[in-house]
Amino acid sequence: QMVRNVYPNLMPYTCSLADLPVEEMKQALGRDQVYKLSFNENPLGPSPKAIEAMQKSLQQLNLYPSSAGEAVLNKIAAKEGVRPENVILSNGADEMIILVAQTFLEPDDEAIIPEICFVQYLASTHLMGATPVFSPMKEDLGIDLEGALQKITEKTKVIFLCNPNNPTGTAIPEEDLKAFIARVPENVLVVIDEAYHEFADGDGYASSVELVKDYANVFVIRTFSKIYSLAAARIGYGIGQAALVDAVNHVRPPFNVNSIAQAGALASLDDAEHVAASRQSNRIGKELLCKTLDALGLPYLKSQTNFVCVDTKRDGKEVFDRLAERGFIVRTLAGYGLKSSLRISIGRPEEMEAFVQAFKEVM
Ligand code: PMP
């Protein structure tokens, strides 16, 4: 057999309509307009300053990009109160998860992953031939840190956490996370994926970047795909102590982040106004959605992100199909055992107005 069986037990991840590019969604549904609410994208698009910088960068496509991306590293470091040697760029947060797995996981190792969590931790653990060990969720579907601690064995190398979590949208309270990290053995790496960091502003959420200073085994992952709306450009980053970052740098391909993405990221970091506008738009859209869910009496998880996880109390796939008929594509969560739940990304306020009308019709 030539091909490695890399994904022996990958969660049943239904490759449906929800994973198609918008144009293909339109074709599949035979509609001129579709509302893609399945990828947690920022509907406002990138900062105009980023687009301008990216267009300018096209003039130097003959040249390799900066390997480490020093300009972007420096700007992130200044913003986050760390040093440039504490930061490393990746081709999206997805690549950072893979790089971390490649750096720290060997076939005999175990990686602890919350049961209802972003699927790339599982995929990357399998990629390395290591063993995923699922930790349970709390009854309220928050990440159960105590449960994760109990899963630690002498084989545990990495614990993956997502804060705020995808697909639940929930945040881990700062105090709980601090107490947890203090109890994790020093030889176990705690990876905290903060892809939705910039949307979070409550429920006790705090970034773990501060903890990097005190803990050599904490590594934080961020992305420019969400609030900065550069998902197509593919750029993310990690923050950790210099020794960790250095180790990951030994695995990182030399030109993993292209110069267009670097230019876009750099300019994005300068446009605080656009970030504020994106947060504001998200807040309005999310409030609109949640008000409707309240009125319909449907339970949903309090979201610190740009999506909401709702229990439709019906077969989620059926609700998905009926929304799709009306041009709204959301995400089913049956692969996580949440058969009646949907994850709905927040679109622009006017898109959410249209969505809640359709949602009321199908419910
Ligand atoms: N982590 C989480 C929690 C995510 O939700 C996503 C995107 N869906 C990613 C990482 C990957 O983001 P990127 O586009 O930066 O690869």
Task: Write the DSSP assignment of 95-137 as a string of letters.
Answer: HHHHHHHHHH--TT-EEEEESSS-THHHHHHHHTT-EEEEEPB
Query: For residue 15, what pLDDT is reported?
Result: 57
CB of 92 within 6 A of ligand 1: the answer is yes
Q: What is the pLDDT of residue 2?
A: 76
Our answer on whether the CB atom of 41 is closer than 6 Å to any ligand 1 atom is no
Q: Identify the residue whose C-alpha is closest to ligand 1 atom 10.
A: 93
pLDDT in the model for residue 6: 66
Q: Cα(166) to centroid of ligand 1, in Å? A: 9
How far, in Å, is the centroid of ligand 1 from the Cα of 232? 12
Asked if residues 128 and 80 have their Cβ atoms less than 8 Å apart, the reply is no
Ligand 1 neighbour 166 (Cβ under 6 A): yes
How high is the pLDDT of residue 21?
87
The closest alpha carbon to 205, from 164, 168, 239, belongs to: 164
Residue ID of nearest Cα to ligand 1 atom 6 = 195
Beta bridge partners of 3: none
Q: What is the pLDDT of residues 195-227, one digit of tens each?
A: 999 999 999 999 999 999 999 999 999 999 999
This prediction has a pTM of 0.96
How many angstroms does the Cα of residue 93 sit away from the middle of ligand 1?
Answer: 5
Residues of the chain with pLDDT under 70: 1, 5-15
pLDDT tens-digit map of 68-107: 999 999 999 999 999 999 999 999 999 999 999 999 999 9
H-state helical runs in the chain:
22-29, 48-57, 70-80, 92-104, 120-127, 145-150, 174-183, 209-212, 242-249, 259-269, 272-296, 316-325, 349-362
What CA–CA distance (Å, rounded) separates 100 from 94? 10
CA 236 – ligand 1 centroid, Å? 9
Which of 19, 72, 98, 166 best tests ligand 1's pocket when mutated (most atoms within 8 Å of CB)?
A: 166
Half-sphere exposure of 297 (CA within 13 A, CB side): 2
Atom number, ligand 1, closest to the C-alpha of residue 235: 15
For the Cβ of 236 lying below 6 angstroms from any atom of ligand 1, the answer is: yes
Question: Looking at ligand 1, which atom is closest to the CA of residue 231?
Answer: 14
* 8-state DSSP, 198: G
How far apart CA 50 and CA 344 sit, in angstroms, is 27
Ligand 1 centroid from CA 234, angstroms: 10
Q: Verify whether ligand 1 is closer than 6 Å to residue 101 (CB atom).
A: no
ipTM for the complex shown: 0.99
Is the C-beta atom of 261 inside 6 A of ligand 1?
A: no
What pLDDT, on a 0 to 100 scale, did the predictor assign at position 17? 86
Q: Which pLDDT score is estimated for 1?
A: 66
Please indicate whether residue 237, judged by its CB atom, sits closer than 6 Å to ligand 1. Answer: no
Tell which atom from ligand 1 comes closest to the C-alpha of 223. 15
State the distance from the centre of ligand 1 to the C-alpha of 156, rounded, in angstroms: 24
Ligand 1 center to 11 CA (angstroms): 17
Residue 209's pLDDT is what? Answer: 98
* Number of other CB atoms surrounding residue 297 within 10 Å: 8
**Distance (Å) from CA 295 to ligand 1 centroid:** 31
The predicted structure's pLDDT at residue 151: 98
Which of 345, 95, 124 minimizes the C-alpha distance to 235? 95
Q: Is 229 in the pocket of ligand 1 (CB under 6 A)?
A: no
Q: For a ligand 1 pocket test, name from 90, 91, 94, 268 the mutation site with the most ligand atoms within 8 angstroms of its C-beta.
A: 94
Which tokens hold the place of 33?
Answer: 């307009």
Ligand 1 atom with least separation from CA of 94: 16
Average model confidence (pLDDT) for the chain?
A: 95
Cα 58 to ligand 1 centroid, rounded to whole Å: 26
Question: Is the C-beta atom of 38 inside 6 A of ligand 1?
Answer: no
